[in-house]
Structure 1
Amino acid sequence: MPAWLLWLIAAGVFAGGEVASLDLVLLMFAGGALGGMTVALVGGPVVLQLVAFVVVSAALLAVVRPIAKRHLLERTEEQLDGVAALVGRTAVVSERVDNESGHVRMGHDEWSARTLLDGEVHEVGAEVRIVQIEGPIAYVGDI
């Protein structure tokens, strides 16, 4: 079996292991294995292939991994998804809202709405702020 094919298989094994570990270390080793494969493809000796593997892996671990890890962590902290992204937005009352019933429109979506405070009422056309969402009900308050 040619050496380049062994390096390619090793890269695939490292990449597959990365899927299980999700630590971005084995992925860097997969890149190193591709470096060893490249040297093997141009006819370099086994010692040079191993040196290429070590150098490329070390470079990827030192340079690329910290950047990738920081980028992934920053996106996770900033990202809001689902209904959490709606809290704080404004909506327009489409059916009178009190603490027992009502509806608001956010963009093209119609939501059942309630107020958090007893006695608080918002009439049709009023602009309100979404303060909380529980299931299908948006709790609204004054802007």
Structure 2
Amino acid sequence: MEIWQIWLAIALALVIIEIITVGFAALCLAIGAVGAAVASCFTDSLVWQITVFAVFTLISFIYVRPFMLKFLSRKKDSPKSGVEALIGRTAIVEEDIVPETNSGRVAIDGDRWKAVSEDGNNIMKGEKVVVLKVDSIILTVRKA
């Protein structure tokens, strides 16, 4: 087995470890091993191969790993919780929403919330509304 094949075998083993651990440390080492495999095609010096391995690994740790951690830590469709989960939900008006008196209540899943109308129109008891915004304990709604 030639030295470049050994470096590629090391890289493959590190990629498999990366798949299991997903911390991007093994991936950076694998990038270094691929760099060393390429270097071994140009020189037989183990010192140069290890130097290339170290440099590629260091560069990967500085540039690739932070990028990948940031990229994968973004939660694109993360589930909403708390009051954020109310936005877009349908509620039933339990107490007339009257903008002039700044009064009105809606119910969602048995919880009662103070509500205001988005467009400033009255919304009568029993009507269905959609929650558009949550400001502290006040929901901004519009007719469904």
Superposed CA deviations along residues 87-129 of structure 1, whole A, max 9, x for unmatched, are: 41266x9xxx678xxxxxxxxxxxxx97754x94126xxx522
Which residue does the alignment assign to 2:20?
20
Letter in 2 for 1:26: A
User: Normalising by the residue count of structure 1, what TM-score does the alignment of the two structures yield?
Assistant: 0.60
Alignment of 1:58-97 (within 5 A): 58-73=58-73, 75-76=74-75, 79-81=76-78, 87-89=86-88
Which residue does the alignment assign to 1:45?
45
Which residue does the alignment assign to 1:142?
141
Distance, in Å, in 1 between the alignment partners of 2:7 and 2:67 is 26
Which residue does the alignment assign to 1:129?
131
Letter in 1 for 2:77: L
Deviation at 1:83, TM superposition (A): 7.7
Superposed CA deviations along residues 14-34 of structure 1, whole A, max 9, x for unmatched, are: 111112221110100000000
Number of residue pairs matched by the alignment: 112
Deviation at 1:47, TM superposition (A): 1.6
Which residue does the alignment assign to 2:118?
none
Distance, in Å, in 1 between the alignment partners of 2:17 and 2:65 is 16
Change (3 A) 1:114 1:29: closer
- Percent identity, please: 19
Please identify, of 3-12 and 59-68, the stretch whose mean Cα deviation from structure 2 is larger: 59-68
Q: Unaligned regions of 5+ residues in structure 1, if any? A: 100-112, 132-140
CA RMSD of aligned residues (A): 3.4
Distance, in Å, in 2 between the alignment partners of 1:34 and 1:87 is 50
- Rg larger for: 2
Q: Does 1:6 align with 2:11?
A: no
Deviation at 1:86, TM superposition (A): 7.0
What is the SS of the residue equivalent to 2:131? strand
What is the SS of the residue equivalent to 1:23? coil
Distance, in Å, in 2 between the alignment partners of 1:69 and 1:2 is 34
User: Normalising by the residue count of structure 2, what TM-score does the alignment of the two structures yield?
Assistant: 0.60
Change (3 A) 1:61 1:81: closer
Kindly report structure 1 stretches of 4+ aligned residues shifted beyond 6 Å. Answer: 83-86
Letter in 2 for 1:129: V
